[in-house]
Amino acid sequence: MRTTLEFVGLPEAILQKAVDYGIARSKTDALRMGIFSLNKEFKLVENPEAELVARKLAEEERAMKKNRAKYLSEDAALSKYR
């Protein structure tokens, strides 16, 4: 997801201080750190790995439906490795 944000005032000063003090390499990294901190504090995503897997599977299913593709059978998937 790409998003363009503009920060002025205190939020911009906080991001700049995070970079100046070497906490983050860039303002973008500081924002990423803030997002992870938010998740750590409020447990928005309990199991990040399971969440990423579920999102990837849903994305693959959407792509398959769009292209009218079918799942491979186990034999077809493993045929080139036998």
Within this chain, do residues 72 and 51 fall inside the same structural domain, yes or no?
yes
Can you give the pLDDT at residue 35?
A: 97
Task: Say what the pTM is.
Answer: 0.70
Cα separation, 36 vs 40, in Å, equals 6
Is 76 part of a structural domain of the chain? yes
Total domain count for the chain? Answer: 2
Within this chain, do residues 36 and 54 fall inside the same structural domain, yes or no?
no
Cα separation, 10 vs 12, in Å, equals 5
Domain limits at 17?
8-44
Within this chain, do residues 30 and 14 fall inside the same structural domain, yes or no?
yes
- 71 has a pLDDT exceeding 90: no
Is 55 part of a structural domain of the chain? yes
- 70 has a pLDDT exceeding 90: no
Can you give the pLDDT at residue 37?
A: 97
Cα separation, 63 vs 70, in Å, equals 11
Interval 11-64: pLDDT, tens: 999 999 999 999 999 999 999 999 999 999 999 999 999 999 999 999 999 999
Residue 32's identity, in one-letter code, is R
Can you give the pLDDT at residue 72?
A: 87
Is 3 part of a structural domain of the chain? no
- The number of beta carbons lying within 10 Å of the beta carbon of residue 31 is 16
